[in-house]
Chains A and B, each alone.
Chain A
């Protein structure tokens, strides 16, 4: 018994007992040691495995959260508070799950970009890419349904936005809303549905597809390092790849896998660091629809959609909402079928690189806009942001009265003054240099260009006061705007150049 050799033999016997029944040792060893092109054992090739590790983390933390979370519209919010404050380390588990989801989306996107730039979606890996596109959609689906399970104000109104989008579907909009909500209102059955999706349906499909994805990576081999001028052709690729790995191949485990393992550990540590330092995400206020003092906002991954919906012209919105996703997803699915051969190296694929750059800049810009929502009125600005005193010094009583009107009529909710206030409309600091008195009166009373008409909300005295105050706002050394047509008709000796958009600086 004390002989180490004897112990070893025992262990081997136990192993053999299992393996003679399971028969997994050989195929697993073969899979682990499959030859990898030497240059592909690179730090660029670690993102897929990191995404898988994050998925496992999400499954584990998710199961642990489900031990406490109550998927009932009346109790979900308080069960999250309970997790945050009363369950030992409950806040940390929630934080891990929340930040893990953000990391997973980021890593999946980086993985997608890397695969695209390296041409890894080309023959024979088309189906691996197509399944990958579905994995991306499912990951986003997990993020959206997860955001709903954090059943707070944002989740409630987010569901409202979802229902409103679905309701625009021609003909079957109404039934689709019912299907989504599980009843006439956002309530118990709605949360139960999203719980089932988040916990059973989507993870089930996700795990199966990840299995297929990894299986195909093993079967078809890891993409070789792209070289300019090395063309992929269906006729010769398999042969070339085989030759390359036979000549320069290294076993995946351990020669290539250590980098994956190191990166995965780094990612897990980063998730833990974020969870520790930044804490759990939400919940914000209670999901009570009678509390309307709220400005709902989606999670980071969906901010760009929020921004796009704010900027679309009303008439284009419904067609865009339904056609754009089909075009984008369809394009991604068809990509490997259309461009399955040819150059893999990014330096020989300028269109692909340009496309990627444009998409990245667009998404980045919209996401950035979504973080500070310039299109949203600031509901408290009229009572919270004061008028800078320099705009009130040496002003006549009428002009000061006008400043009061400006505050009282909520103009500041959309118009900034001295850098404070809404950004929905233009800032008013130089307004008199851009508009004449007549133009201002017309704009205030009749509205137009995204501004409501105030004709019913202002009496003539208020309008006069307001406009006389606005006429004092023209920054330093700027000439007031002038109506050149009036000068023509009144026979002014020296007509000024007409300006509406810019200041006439002479």
Chain B
């Protein structure tokens, strides 16, 4: 009965309030309900804000993790595998993989053995947009199949759309093995190693090889 009564009252046009006391009571009740409704909105807003923390943390997790934290030293094999003066393609397994990665967890790099313990290890990913570059020993060039970027044997930019030379991995020779620090997809943001290279490499071979040799090299 009360429900029907209320509905009937609500339908009545304003200004024809029948009873001052009930109108005042209803108005008071209304403002209380309106307040409670606003309060419930605020409550849900607060719950939503709390809920957003784990959701955002989950979604942004991969973005917030430092790329270097994925890196680890990976062995590319004994140095005897790399004849001096040659540049060879080497496959390795990325240090961080998941069961679902399958063959995408594999990786490849170009190893250039300059002489003795001096190496250069290049990412296969073009510094332009990441396509796999190919080495041509006859013309001593790396060529990119996508937009025709070309690099010299020391990785320096030769021509085409790339703005800079090939990405280089940090390497070290431990015992008789060549190790590189790898772990994340080389791009302009991550580079292949922590050390930044100047856009144009002026004295590429000696300088690069020397300071790429950390204390771990024996």
Contacts and interface: CB of A to CB of B under 8 A. Distances in A.
Interface of A: 72-75, 156-157, 160-161, 163-169, 173-179, 181-192, 286-290, 292-296, 306, 309-310, 312, 314-315, 317, 375-377, 379, 382, 408-411, 413-414, 424, 447, 450-454, 456-457
A452 B159 contact: yes
A122 B138 CA distance: 62
A74 B103 CA distance: 6
Given A310-B146, A377-B148, 4 more contacts: A73-B101, A74-B101, A163-B187, A185-B184
B129 A160 contact: yes
B98 A164 contact: no
Given A173-B188, A184-B70, A188-B102, A379 B143 contact: yes
B187 to A, nearest CB: 4
A177 B140 CA distance: 32
Contacts of A408: 138
A101 B21 CA distance: 67
B102 A181 contact: no
Given A185-B184, A289-B107, A290-B91, A74 B99 contact: yes
A361 B70 CA distance: 46
Nearest to A378: B145
A167 B139 contact: no
B213 to A, nearest CB: 25
B131 interface: yes
Interface in B37-89: 59-60, 62-65, 67, 70, 89
Interface stretch (B5-13, B113-121, B150-158, B200-208): B150-158
A76 B190 CA distance: 27
B159 A451 contact: yes
Interface residues of B, number: 60
Max count, chain B CB within 10 A of own CB: residue among A165, A315, A408, A457: A457
Given A290-B91, A290-B107, A310-B161, A161 B143 contact: no
B63 A175 contact: yes
Given A187-B104, A450-B159, A450-B160, A177 B139 contact: no
A225 B185 CA distance: 54
16 contacts: A72-B100, A160-B130, A164-B188, A173-B189, A175-B64, A185-B101, A185-B185, A289-B107, A289-B108, A290-B107, A295-B146, A306-B146, A314-B161, A317-B161, A447-B158, A456-B152
Contacts of A174: 67, 189-190
Contact of A161 (B131, B148, B160): B131
Contact of A177 (B94, B106, B190): B190
A413 B139 CA distance: 11
Nearest to B145: A295
B215 to A, nearest CB: 25
